[in-house]
Copies of this chain bind each other. A is one copy, B any other.
Amino acid sequence: MRDDEKAEKPRSNSPSRSEFDLIERIRHRASNHLKNSSLIPPPSSLLFGIGDDAAIIQQQHGRDTIITTDLLIEEIDFHLDTTTPWLLGHKALAVSLSDIAAMGARPQYALLSIGVPRAVWDSAFMDEFYEGFFSLAEIFGVVLAGGDVSRTPERIVIDSIVIGDVAHGRAVRRSGARAGDHIFVTGSLGGAAAGLRLLERGARLRRKRTRSTYSRMVEQLLLRQLLPEPRVSWGATLCEEHLATAMIDISDGLSSDLAHICRESNTGATIDAARIPIDPLVINLCGRRALDPLLLALHGGEDFELLFTVHPRDLRRLPRKIGDVPITYIGDITKDSGGIRIAEGSHVWNLEPGGFTHFERDAESST
């Protein structure tokens, strides 16, 4: 998730730690724990856990269960003055559905833990929140199976858990990309980040229908931020048709999420700036607002599009569109030694991950 503190500001490689370092350490610790324990279930029944979009648990007779959990924290991931309870309930489910989609699984069940302060409890918030949640759950046939309700001193916290199902061994991981694979992205990029910038600058959704083209454009960008559409059908199709070799959802930003794939797959990548499907509304808006559309599309995050890789032999089987959601070829996986690079015309640069992290390596840059 992102917030005011994410930015185009420079990053250093100083030795303080990001959450990715912690996740690596936990992964190492959990794996030692596996080795040391004599009581654990057979290691095969936990296939791959920490360090992907979701955990994969092997069930009996050919199916795997996929589980993901996403925290949404008030003032970090959302602000009550820029969204509505209904939109928040919708988004809480959408972000976890997106993780399930990124594994290629079909979502089945959700659990929802929510903590709210007294004043929120006494308002209509909870009912509207659950309405938003159920409106999306109904689209994908997701059943709310449980959860927890708690009180907080001040702010709202939400943990959204979704459970999905996939054929055994078929979940699409981040680690399956190989040099020569083509890189694709669903839909368009930059819209959610542009929507966030607009919110930060005071734009708000209005209840009454607006007529001007500009207002409608702003509204659509706000909705890209506030009402993300998880690419469940794309994810499941890419998995079930054995099309994607690696996949991730773009939550942190294209540059960061591509780096996750490359790190887990031990590859490099080259992407072509001109091919990146920047949201046309972003291009239009950025001209008026002095923002760089390419930077928003590269580093913006929260578009919840799918980023995936395809072996060249499978390209001819790849659908062009599912529903009204197209895909775009943006570059190629290369050998590790190539690093992650972006070509803009005849110039080629290293592409540093510039997406969102909760805790940056450089502690001072985020204070």
Contact = CB atoms under 8 A, between A and B. Distances in A.
A141 B39 contact: yes
Interface centre among A33, A68, A76 (most CB of B within 10 A): A33
A141 B50 contact: no
Given A149-B23, A152-B76, A40 B143 contact: yes
Most buried by B among A30, A150, A153, A159: A159
Given A41-B108, A55-B111, A59-B59, A69 B134 contact: no
Interface string A32-58: 011011011100011001101011010
A113 B153 contact: no
Contacts of A36: 138
Given A67-B146, A71-B115, A71-B159, A151 B37 contact: no
A77 interface: yes
B109 A55 contact: yes
Contacts of A113: 69-71, 159
Interface stretch (A118-126, A209-217, A275-283, A284-292): A118-126
Contacts of A151: 73, 76, 358-359
A157 B77 CA distance: 14
Given A141-B39, A146-B49, A153 B60 contact: no
Interface string A143-184: 111111111111101010101000000000000000000000
A144 B30 contact: yes
Contacts of A68: 146
A108 B366 CA distance: 38
A269 B157 CA distance: 37
A137 interface: yes
Interface in A68-100: 68-71, 73-77
A157 B73 CA distance: 9
Contacts of A57: 108-109, 145, 163
Interface string A102-146: 000000110101110010011000110010001001111101111
Interface string A345-363: 0000000000000110001
Given A22-B149, A163-B57, A359-B151, A143 B69 contact: no
Interface in A1-55: 1, 16, 19, 22-23, 25-26, 29-30, 33-34, 36-37, 39-41, 45-46, 49-50, 52, 54-55
Given A46-B145, A73-B151, 17 more contacts: A26-B147, A40-B143, A46-B109, A49-B145, A49-B146, A50-B147, A67-B146, A69-B111, A69-B146, A69-B147, A71-B115, A75-B153, A76-B115, A76-B150, A115-B157, A149-B358, A151-B358
9 contacts: A22-B149, A41-B143, A54-B146, A60-B61, A67-B163, A69-B147, A71-B115, A73-B152, A122-B363
